[in-house]
Structure 1
Amino acid sequence: MLPLGEERVQTLLKAVVVGARVDDPASRGGGEQSSAFADAGALAPPYDPEAMCLLVEHSNSLRQNVDAYATNIDGFGFRFDPVIDFEAEEAREKVRDTLMLERLAAHDAGTLDATTSVTPTVDEANARFDELRQHSRVERARLEAFFDFACFDHSFVDLRRRTRQDLEVTGNAFWEVLRDGKGDLARFVYVPSYTVRLLPLDRDPVEVKERVRVSPVTFDTVSARRRLRRYVQIQGAERAFFKSFGDPRVISRNTGAVFPDVASLKIADATDGPATELLHFAIHSPRSPYGVPRWVGTLLSVLGSRQMEEVNYLYFENKSVPPMALLVSGGRLSDASVPRIERFIEENLKGKANFHKILILEADGSGTGDGGRAKIELRPLTDAQQQDALFQVYDERNIDKVGGAFRLPRMLRGESKDFNRATAESA
Structure 2
Amino acid sequence: MEGGESTQTLLKALVLGAKVDDPSSRGGGEQALAFTDAGALAPPYDPEAMCLLVEHSNSLRQNVDAYATNIDGFGFRFDPVIDFEAEEARDRVRDTLTLERLAAREAGTLDSSTSVTPTADEANARFDELRQQSRIERARLEAFFDFACFDHSFVDLRRRTRQDLEVTGNAFWEVLRDGKGDLARFVYVPSYTVRLLPLDRDPVEVKERVRVSPVTFDTVSARRRLRRYVQIQGTERAFFKSFGDPRVISRNTGAVFPDVASLKTADATDGPATELLHFAIHSPRSPYGVPRWVGTLLSVLGSRQMEEVNYLYFENKSVPPMALLVSGGRLSDASVPRLERFIEENLKGKANFHKILILEADGSGTGDGGRAKIELRPLTDAQQQDALFQVYDERNIDKVGGAFRLPRMLRGESKDFNRATAESA
Task: Give how far 1:313 is off.
Answer: 1.0
* Runs of 4+, deviation exceeding 6 Å: 4-12, 332-364
The DSSP-based 3-state class of the residue aligned with 2:271 is coil
The DSSP-based 3-state class of the residue aligned with 1:413 is coil
| Corresponding residue of 1:181 | 179
Query: C-alpha distance in 1, partners of 2:412/2:226?
Result: 43
Seen in structure 2, the aligned counterparts of structure 1 residues 368 and 314 have a Cα distance that, compared at 3 Å, is closer
The DSSP-based 3-state class of the residue aligned with 1:212 is strand
Gaps of 5+ in 2: none
Seen in structure 2, the aligned counterparts of structure 1 residues 147 and 336 have a Cα distance that, compared at 3 Å, is same
Task: Give how far 1:369 is off.
Answer: 4.3
Query: C-alpha distance in 2, partners of 1:129/1:105?
Result: 19
Seen in structure 2, the aligned counterparts of structure 1 residues 319 and 245 have a Cα distance that, compared at 3 Å, is same
Task: Give how far 1:340 is off.
Answer: 16
The answer to whether the 8 Å contact 1:198/1:229 transfers is yes
The answer to whether the 8 Å contact 2:362/2:372 transfers is no
The answer to whether the 8 Å contact 2:319/2:383 transfers is yes
Q: Which moved more, 1:108-117 or 1:124-133?
A: 108-117
Any idea what the Cα deviations from partners look like across 1:231-280, whole Å, max 9, x if unmatched? Answer: 00000110000000000111000000001111111111111111000000
Seen in structure 2, the aligned counterparts of structure 1 residues 8 and 281 have a Cα distance that, compared at 3 Å, is farther
The answer to whether the 8 Å contact 2:328/2:366 transfers is no
Task: Give how far 1:387 is off.
Answer: 0.5
Query: C-alpha distance in 2, partners of 1:10/1:402?
Result: 52
The answer to whether the 8 Å contact 1:320/1:345 transfers is no
Q: Which moved more, 1:55-64 or 1:343-352?
A: 343-352
What is the total number of aligned residue pairs between the two structures? 424
For the pair 1:243 / 2:241, whether they are aligned, the reply is yes
Task: Give how far 1:168 is off.
Answer: 0.3
Seen in structure 2, the aligned counterparts of structure 1 residues 362 and 403 have a Cα distance that, compared at 3 Å, is farther
The answer to whether the 8 Å contact 1:244/1:277 transfers is yes
The answer to whether the 8 Å contact 2:35/2:195 transfers is yes
Query: C-alpha distance in 2, partners of 1:174/1:342?
Result: 63
The answer to whether the 8 Å contact 2:329/2:371 transfers is no
Seen in structure 2, the aligned counterparts of structure 1 residues 341 and 317 have a Cα distance that, compared at 3 Å, is farther
The answer to whether the 8 Å contact 1:233/1:241 transfers is yes
Task: Give how far 1:6 is off.
Answer: 30
Seen in structure 2, the aligned counterparts of structure 1 residues 357 and 209 have a Cα distance that, compared at 3 Å, is farther
The DSSP-based 3-state class of the residue aligned with 1:88 is coil
Seen in structure 2, the aligned counterparts of structure 1 residues 355 and 384 have a Cα distance that, compared at 3 Å, is farther
The DSSP-based 3-state class of the residue aligned with 1:199 is strand
| Corresponding residue of 1:324 | 322
Of 59, 66, 69, 2:67 maps to: 69
Any idea what the Cα deviations from partners look like across 1:297-339, whole Å, max 9, x if unmatched? Answer: 0001111111111111111122431100111112589999999
Seen in structure 2, the aligned counterparts of structure 1 residues 298 and 377 have a Cα distance that, compared at 3 Å, is same
Any idea what the Cα deviations from partners look like across 1:154-178, whole Å, max 9, x if unmatched? Answer: 0000000000000000000000000
Task: Give how far 1:116 is off.
Answer: 1.3
Task: Give how far 1:216 is off.
Answer: 0.3
Query: C-alpha distance in 1, partners of 2:91/2:3?
Result: 95
Any idea what the Cα deviations from partners look like across 1:172-209, whole Å, max 9, x if unmatched? Answer: 00000000111000000000000000000001111111
For the pair 1:356 / 2:345, whether they are aligned, the reply is no
Task: Give how far 1:364 is off.
Answer: 7.6
Task: Give how far 1:353 is off.
Answer: 19
The answer to whether the 8 Å contact 2:331/2:362 transfers is yes
Seen in structure 2, the aligned counterparts of structure 1 residues 364 and 10 have a Cα distance that, compared at 3 Å, is closer
Seen in structure 2, the aligned counterparts of structure 1 residues 347 and 190 have a Cα distance that, compared at 3 Å, is farther
